[in-house]
Each structure stands twice: as structure tokens, then as C-alpha cells.
Amino acid sequence: MDVNLHHCLEGDKQAWDDFVQRYSGVIYAAVGHVFGSRGAGSTGRTTEDVAQDVFVRLVKDDYRLLRKFEPQRASLETWLTLVARSVAIDCLRKRRLETSGLDPSQIPAAEPTPDGQTVPLHLLTARQRLVLTLLFDEDRSVAQAAQMLNVDEQTIRSTKHKALSRLRSHFQSR
């Protein structure tokens, strides 16, 4: 089904209906993945509820969020997946704060956590450091790292091998 996003943003009802028909599955799957992998039992909200929240955010304030999408930069499926995942994570985070007795409005937005083990800059490429982080710090398998970075498993093994060789050389020369 072709979806005319431009018509959709102009308020065309049929275009919006087509958009929902075409992308509701992706949004529903993304929310379901977050709830399935992290547990949503305590939120009191279902996957259906949160999927609906995603659509609400997309159209709110004259499609403010949906207008941010730029088709030349990414596919709509991938962008909506990230948006839906983010809404689901926010839902879980909000519930955790509420159940902890803290006032969510008093809590600043979560800051990313610098947790990666790194090596002297320029010794390894970002890709090499990322691969070692995924394999050693996060205990991901070669297959998982390969999927995440959208490369084959042999590429991950090769990247890891080269990175470790560089590290050995670095320490042997010191």
C-alpha cells in the first residue's frame, strides 16, 4: 500500500487511514518488543494502549512529530520503530518513577550513561571499540553484534581480531 505522507500532513483523512493501516503493525511490534523484553506487567498499560499513544504523539499539535521525519534520510519503518520504542521506554520509566515514590516532574530527563570501556584515542577505530564493547562489556554473541551492526559474523570476528592485535602491539611496544 502506498502512503502519501504529504497528503497525510495536509490532513487528508484517507491518507491518514492508509498510513495507520500500513504502519500500525510496525508500531505495535516495536511496543510489544519493549514490553516483552523488559516486562510491562507493572505499568498497568497494554501494548495496545501504548501503540495508541504513539499515534497520538504523531498527530499531536498538527502532526508536529510526524513532520520531523525526512524521507531522504531514513525509511519511515525504521524511524517509526525508534519512535515507538522510545514511547514504550518512556512509559516504563515513568511507571518506575511513580512506583518508587518520586515525583516524575522533579526528575530530570535521563542522561545517557557513559559506561563504555575505551582505549587510547586513535588506537582503535570507533567500529573496533564498539565491537569489543558489545562482545566483552555487554556479553553479546558474535551473531548478535553482527545483527546489530548489520554486517556478517565473519566481519565481526575480523574486526575483533584486528582490534586485539593492535592492542597487543600497543602494550608490547610500551
Partner 1 sequence: MPVDDQKNPTDERLWRSAAPMKPALSAACPGQLELASYLDGRRSAAEIESIETHLVVCRECREAVADARLIVVATARSRPAAPERVIESAQALVSAQSQPLLGLKWRTARWPAAAAASVAICVFGYHTGTAWTASTDLRLDQLATEMSFGVFDPPDEDAGEIELIAALLTERPR
Shorter beta-carbon distance to partner 1: residue 40 or 160: 160
Contacts of 20 (CB under 8 A, 6+ apart): 55
Smallest distance, partner 1 to C-beta of residue 63, A:
6
CB 11 within 8 A of CB 68: no
Shorter beta-carbon distance to partner 1: residue 52 or 97: 52
Shorter beta-carbon distance to partner 1: residue 100 or 110: 110
Segment (H or E) for 161? helix 153-172
Smallest distance, partner 1 to C-beta of residue 151, A:
10
How far apart, in whole angstroms, are the C-alpha atoms of residue 144 and residue 126? 18
Cβ atoms within 10 A of the Cβ of 74, count? Answer: 12
Residue 118 sits at φ, ψ, to 5 deg, of -125, 170
Smallest distance, partner 1 to C-beta of residue 86, A:
7
Shorter beta-carbon distance to partner 1: residue 101 or 120: 120
3 state SS of 93: helix
Cell of 144: 548478535
